Structure 1
Amino acid sequence: MSELSQSSPTKRVGFVPTFALSMVVVGVILTGAMGPLGGRIVQGALTATPHAPDWALLGALSPVIKIHLYAALAAVALGAALMVVRKGRAFHRAAGWTWVALVAAVAGSSIFITELNHGGWSLLHLFTGWTFLILPLAVIAARRRSVARHRRMMMGLFYGGFAINLLIAFIPGRTLWQAVFG
């Protein structure tokens, strides 16, 4: 027998260390991508003054950005609720389908948000493609009763997609930053 067939199975790394490592990697990538703007962003973060949302600023956004923003906020709130409730019950199924629709609306609307990159897509649109790939696969996994796969995919979308993009949305100088801290 070969040595490979006799080796013990590899131990899986838990969610928290994997998530922490992925956030560090994203931070390094963002720091490198921002280059010379990094100092201005750090300075903006240090001088932040939280206040009530600037509704006039949010009201002046284009309709597609409003759809994107409000669907994302609803998906974050509903997703957080889904993380803490008991799974497999009627509420989980109904709220899960609602969350899927909200995430699809967030990803679908993001295709039309191109103002930041002079009419073209940016690197953030890679999350859109990833969402359109993983979201239906996660639903299929649930329908096939592959609970572990469904859980990994949905948690990856929730924490990876929304946590990372929420951090990016609150970079000093961006609209959400201006609405809450600017």
Structure 2
Amino acid sequence: METFTPIIVVHALAALFVLLLGPFQILRRRRDRAHRVLGVAWVSAMVVVCASSFGIHDGRFSWLHALATWTLLCMVFAIAGIRRRNVPVHRGFMIGSYIGTLAAFAFAALIPARLIPRLLAEEPVIAIGTVLGVLLIVLTFHLTVVRVAGRPSAAIPSRSAGAPAS
């Protein structure tokens, strides 16, 4: 019987972060500095999810490990796309990665023998408390980044503030 090993806990918490932050990134209208900061955090968490998945297996790899490999490649393609200012490529790979994560979560949550349904059945307070805790972290992080990233930097005066042009 599989238990909540440290790698599974890290994997689950990072996956929750990815799942809960994803809609804020996808549905937010502005693609500004906050979007970039939140995106770096999202991609970092996604890398943790994918990398940690390789430490979770029963002696063999499954389609979920193939999905993790594909998702890591998608992150590379998405970042390369936005660096080339190809927004449709970036958007497609990012949204596709999020949908793949939702599919993996659905599989993990809907198969009764897996840990998520067992945790919900045996320790619902821990399961719900964990989700609410990560949601609170995501909301606080999102609101803080949007508020702070929306301010002009004090270290770099804007040209409209009378700074000489270089």
In 1: Cα distance, 2:68 partner to 2:57 partner: 13
Aligned residues: 119
Tell me the alpha carbon deviations over residues 134-177 of structure 1, each in whole angstroms, 9 at most, x when there is no partner.
11110110111100111111000001x11110110111121001
Contact 1:138 1:150 in 2 (8 A): yes
Residues 138 and 153 in structure 1, CA contact (< 8 A), matched pair in contact too: yes
- Structure 1: runs of 5+ lacking an equivalent: 1-59
Q: Distance in 2 between matches of 1:148 and 1:139?
A: 12
Seq. identity, %: 33
2:61 match? 121
Cross-structure match for 1:155: 95
Quote the Cα distance in structure 2 between the aligned partners of 1:141 and 1:107.
Answer: 20
Q: Is the contact made by 1:86 and 1:92 (CA closer than 8 Å) also made in structure 2? A: no
Tell me how far apart the structure 1 counterparts of residues 104 and 95 of structure 2 sit (CA, whole Å). 14
The residue matched to 1:124 in structure 2 has which SS?
Answer: helix
Q: Aligned partners of 1:164 and 1:100: how far apart in 2?
A: 17
Q: TM-score, normalised by structure 1?
A: 0.62
Note if contact 1:76-1:158 (Cα within 8 Å) is conserved in structure 2: yes
User: Residues of 2 paired with 1:86 and 1:77: CA distance?
Assistant: 17
Aligned to 2:75, what secondary structure does the other structure show?
Answer: helix
Distance of 2:104 and 2:14 partners within structure 1: 13
Aligned mates of 1:181, 1:62 — CA distance in 2: 19
**Counterpart of 1:167?**
106
1:132 Cα offset (Å): 1.8
Instruction: Look up the match of 1:91.
Output: 34
Q: Distance in 1 between matches of 2:63 and 2:97?
A: 17
Shift of 1:87: 3.7
Corresponding residue of 1:144? 84
Taking a change above 3 Å as real, the CA distance of residues 136 and 87 of structure 1, as seen in their structure-2 partners, is farther
Residue 123 (structure 1) shift:
1.9
Q: Distance in 1 between matches of 2:31 and 2:5?
A: 38
Residue in structure 2 matched with residue 130 of structure 1 by the alignment: 70
Q: Which runs of 5+ in 2 are unaligned?
A: 123-166
4+ residue stretches of structure 1 with deviation over 4 A? none
| CA–CA distance in structure 2, aligned partners of residues 138 and 181 of structure 1 | 38
Tell me, in whole angstroms, the C-alpha distance in 1 between the residues paired with 2:121 and 2:29.
36
Please, what is the CA RMSD of the aligned residues? Answer: 1.2
**Taking structure 2 as the reference length, what is the TM-score of the superposition?**
0.68
Q: How does 1:30-49 map to 2 (within 5 A)?
A: none
Q: Secondary structure at the match of 2:31?
A: coil
